[in-house]
Amino acid sequence: MSWLRNMSLPLSEVKMLSRKDLTQKDIEYFRVKYGKRFVRALRAVEEGKVKKYHFRPSGTTKWVVQGDTRAYLVSPEVFCTCRSFYQSAVIAREIDMCYHMLAQRIAAIRSQYMAIESSDAERRRLYAQWRKVG
């Protein structure tokens, strides 16, 4: 799909996010670049809303971010099933990433996520909710 772009963070940002404690200067940098999305993403990470599922026996891994009303499936650096990503990134191209995608990046870099072991049978059940777009 041609509209899918890879939205990896620049190495300088990965380095900043790897620090144990973000400095006020780092936070200001991200706020200027990502606006409110960064604040929401950081809060989501701190509130434990980023989950990494590991399904057995297939070994499939999926990232999910719990939003205000439902959970969204995030393909790291590529896609999120929320309305904001669809409308603002895919259609309008105003942004590259929604805050769920940013939260996933922060959580992965800082190893600050909930790791959940589950089964493929459960995955099929969860997919029905996660994969809905909007």
Instruction: Please identify, using beta-carbon distances, which residue of 30 and 99 lies nearer to Zn ion.
Output: 99
Q: What is the DSSP string of 49-115?
A: -EEEEEEETT--EEEEEE-SSSEEEEETTTEE-SHHIIIIIIIS-S-S--HHHHHHHHHHHHT-SEE
Residue of the chain from 82, 103, 106, 107 that contacts Zn ion (CB under 5 A): 82
Q: Does 45 bind Zn ion (CB under 5 A)?
A: no
Q: Which of 10, 37, 39, 40 is nearest to 27 (CA)?
A: 39
Encoded one letter per residue, x for contact with Zn ion by CB under 5 A and - for no contact, window 55-74 reads: -----------------x--
Indicate the residue type of 102. Answer: L
50 in contact with Zn ion (CB under 5 A): no
* Contact pick of 37, 49, 62, 100 for Zn ion (by CB under 5 A): 100
Is 98 near Zn ion (CB under 5 A)? Answer: yes
Contacts to Zn ion by CB under 5 A: 72, 80, 82, 85, 98, 100
